[in-house]
């Protein structure tokens, strides 16, 4: 279904570790068509606010029965700090669901789900969808510190294969998500690796997945000013099936991309061999990818 714009009422806003969980009453957006990897774009300020641009957040959960949509966010700048100071009963303008979600077609997956910080927000519902289709899942969840982990309890309720890592060793193993990832893939003979988090993490995860012969599906964290494909602020250099690199909009062609097609080292630059921008084509796994 197409996204809807609605005046969503805040039902709850509560701390969860270093983050905030935002629950909105938004029946028009909370439909059965919301899939893991979709996101919503929130207008933080009112009509007279100097905070003009929307803020994009992955949808953590959407409940069609309750008519609610949940987001997990961190306070990074003026916009997210302002959002954190909202209260139940306040209204925010929401456009959702947006973007291209994680691919689930093509038969049961044996998938490792990798989340960095609050990039883990869509991973529990993604795991539930994979398990409902007869697949298997493992998790690798990482963050800088213990309070910046998210979704560990949900992951452990869904899989016996859960690896937790922190940069400082305050929870789980000390290190990065790339440390336990090969073991996690081997444990379930992974066909797919789904990841969401910082761009350097996605680059490293893609390299390991490709080396193991697994497909890499990455939800990129690019700044999005509109969320609808109009402003071109979130473009990434992506190589197409014809071998040509074009700019693709992260908000419409993504945020989920085949990680092997993203030119990670050229993100934020204008590559010399770039051939313009492509149409807003949603990501689909290549036919040559493993089943």
* Its pTM surpasses 0.85: yes
pLDDT tens per residue, range 234-274:
899 999 999 999 999 999 999 999 999 999 999 888 888 88
The whole-number pLDDT of residue 49 equals 57
Q: Give mean pLDDT in consecutive 10-residue pieces for the chain, a chain of 291 residues.
A: 90 96 96 92 70 86 96 92 94 94 92 97 98 97 97 98 97 97 98 96 98 97 79 89 92 94 91 74 51 37
Residue with tokens 């969980």: 21
Taking each helix axis as running N to C, give the angle between helix 181-188 and helix 199-211, from 0 to 180 degrees, rounded to the nearest 10.
Answer: 40
The whole-number pLDDT of residue 1 equals 65
Q: Which residues contact 6 (CB under 8 A, 6 or more apart)?
A: 26, 28, 29, 93, 94
pLDDT tens per residue, range 33-67:
899 999 999 988 655 554 677 889 999 999 999 99
The DSSP secondary structure of the chain, one letter per residue, reads ---EEEEEEEEEEEEETTEEEEEEE-TTT--TT--TT-EEEEE-S-TT-S--S-EEEEEEEEETTTTEEEEEE---SHHHHHHHT--TT-EEEEEEEESB-----SS--EEEEEEEGGGGTTHHHHHHHHHHTT-EEEEEEEESSGGG--SHHHHHHH-S-EEEEETTSSSSEES-TTTTHHHHHHHHT-SEEEEES-HHHHHHHHHHHHHTT-EEEEE-----SSSSSSS-TTEEEEE-TTS-EEEEETTTT-BEEEGGGB-GGGTTS--TT---B---PPP---TTS--
The mean predicted confidence, pLDDT, of the chain is: 91
The whole-number pLDDT of residue 288 equals 41
Q: Give the torsion sign (CA, 254, 260, 261, 264).
A: positive
The whole-number pLDDT of residue 136 equals 98
The whole-number pLDDT of residue 290 equals 41
């Amino acid at each position: 279904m197409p996204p809807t714009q609605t005046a969503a009422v805040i039902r709850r806003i509560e701390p969860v570790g270093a983050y905030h969980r935002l629950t909105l009453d938004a029946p028009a957006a909370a439909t059965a068509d919301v899939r893991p990897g979709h996101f919503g774009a929130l207008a933080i300020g009112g009509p007279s606010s100097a905070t003009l641009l929307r803020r994009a957040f992955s949808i953590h959960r959407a409940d069609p029965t309750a008519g609610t949509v949940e987001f997990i966010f961190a306070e990074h700048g003026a916009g997210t700090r302002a959002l954190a100071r909202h209260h139940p009963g306040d209204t925010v303008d929401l456009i959702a669901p947006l973007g291209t979600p994680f691919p689930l077609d093509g038969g049961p997956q044996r998938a490792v789900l990798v989340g960095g910080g609050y990039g883990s927000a869509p991973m529990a519902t993604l795991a539930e969808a994979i398990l409902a289709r007869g697949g298997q899942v493992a998790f690798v969840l990482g963050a800088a510190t213990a309070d910046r982990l998210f979704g560990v309890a949900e992951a452990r309720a869904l899989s016996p294969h859960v690896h937790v890592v922190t940069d400082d060793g305050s929870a789980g193993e000390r290190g990065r998500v790339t440390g336990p990832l090969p073991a996690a893939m081997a444990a379930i003979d992974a066909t797919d690796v789904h990841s969401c988090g910082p761009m350097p993490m996605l680059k490293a995860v893609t390299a390991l997945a490709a080396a193991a012969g697994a497909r890499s599906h990455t939800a990129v964290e690019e700044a999005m000013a509109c969320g609808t494909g109009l402003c071109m602020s979130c473009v990434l250099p992506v190589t197409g099936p014809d071998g040509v690199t074009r700019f693709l909009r992260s908000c419409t062609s993504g945020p989920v991309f085949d990680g092997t097609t993203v030119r990670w080292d050229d993100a934020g630059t204008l590559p010399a061999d770039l051939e313009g921008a492509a149409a807003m084509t949603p990501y689909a796994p290549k036919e040559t990818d493993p089943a």
